[in-house]
């Protein structure tokens, strides 16, 4: 599979968005440092050079594109498997696109698509906190790194290879029809939690009920249950 690595780049997601037409399905792009890394809703994602695992994966397979709503959760589950493999057990998926260790964010995921007008490709961007000894600045959710949890530095190049293998294998299984719902529910950070949330512009208390097979989230709000997609709710802890 095509594999590109940069010491410095503006954004691995941006690079794939600019070059996807000439690249193969499952092209992998990583970097030691991103000068213009991004999170959801246009937020900046900044990490000192060489301290995070930062990469993006290009998906062009039509069957996978038809199931794009699940891919964010599947990417998060792949990170959970990666962290479980190095001895971190209390790792969960916070719908729709974060990974938490305990009650702190250890990984963020950004999915971006190219449509003309139909979806042509999907780009999975992942940023995992690995060797940070401390975090400076204001964060929407308290971050944590692998180093802070284990007390030892990790080989980012080794994690990169493992992450690529786990994620592409899970995508292969998804393409072949494997149902990941049991695995996803077993690592659902929000299940049963009541949180303050923005629903249709109003802040309300919402109870997360369960993940759905299509990747949406069932919640209970105002004594009724409804299914929501990632763009319709914002959680505030």
**Which helix (DSSP H) or strand (DSSP E) does residue 184 occupy?**
helix 181-186
Share above pLDDT 90 across residues of the chain, in percent, rounded to a whole number? 69
Same domain, 27 and 89: yes
101 and 25 in a common domain: yes
- In this model, does residue 40 exceed pLDDT 60? no
pLDDT digits (tens, 9 = 90+) for 46-92: 667 889 999 999 999 999 999 888 999 999 999 999 999 999 999 99
Same domain as 217, residue 131: no
The boundaries of the domain holding residue 131 are 3-186
Q: Does residue 11 share a domain with residue 117? A: yes
152 and 230 housed in the same domain: no
- pLDDT tens, position by position, 95-133: 988 999 999 999 999 999 998 788 999 999 999 999 999
Question: Domain check: are 174 and 98 in the same one?
Answer: yes
Say whether both 71 and 152 belong to one domain: yes
Q: Say if residue 126 is in the same domain as residue 160.
A: yes
Same-domain status, 231 and 126:
no
Burial of 148 (0-12, 13-18, 19+ CB in 10 A): middle
Tokens encoding 12: 């691995």
β-strand pairing of 194-199 with 233-236: antiparallel
* Mean pLDDT (the chain, rounded): 89
* Number of domains observed in the structure of the chain: 2
Domain boundary among 170, 186, 202: 186
pLDDT digits over 130-186, tens only?
999 988 765 667 899 999 999 999 999 999 999 999 999 999 999 999 999 999 999
152, 104: one domain = yes
**pLDDT at site 15:** 95
């Amino acid at each position: 599979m095509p594999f590109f690595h940069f010491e410095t780049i503006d954004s691995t997601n941006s690079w794939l968005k600019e070059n996807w037409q000439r690249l193969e399905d499952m092209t992998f792009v990583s970097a030691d440092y991103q000068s213009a890394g991004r999170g959801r809703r246009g937020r900046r994602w900044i990490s000192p050079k060489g301290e995070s695992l930062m990469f993006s994966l290009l998906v062009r397979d039509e069957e996978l594109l038809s199931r794009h709503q699940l891919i964010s959760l599947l990417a998060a589950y792949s990170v959970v498997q990666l962290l479980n493999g190095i001895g971190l057990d209390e790792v969960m998926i916070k719908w729709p696109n974060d990974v938490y260790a305990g009650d702190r964010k250890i990984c963020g995921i950004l999915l971006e698509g190219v449509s003309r007008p139909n979806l042509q490709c999907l780009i999975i961007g992942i940023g995992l906190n690995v060797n940070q000894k401390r975090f400076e600045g204001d964060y929407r959710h308290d971050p944590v790194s692998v180093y802070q949890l284990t007390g030892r530095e990790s080989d980012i190049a080794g994690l990169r290879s493992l992450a690529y293998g786990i994620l592409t294998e899970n995508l292969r299984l998804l393409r072949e029809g494997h149902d990941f719902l049991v695995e996803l529910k077993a690592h659902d950070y929000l299940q049963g939690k009541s949180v303050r949330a923005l629903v249709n512009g109003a802040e309300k208390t919402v109870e997360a009920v369960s993940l759905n097979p299509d990747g949406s989230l069932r919640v209970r709000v105002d004594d009724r249950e409804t299914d929501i997609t990632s763009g319709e709710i914002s959680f505030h802890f």
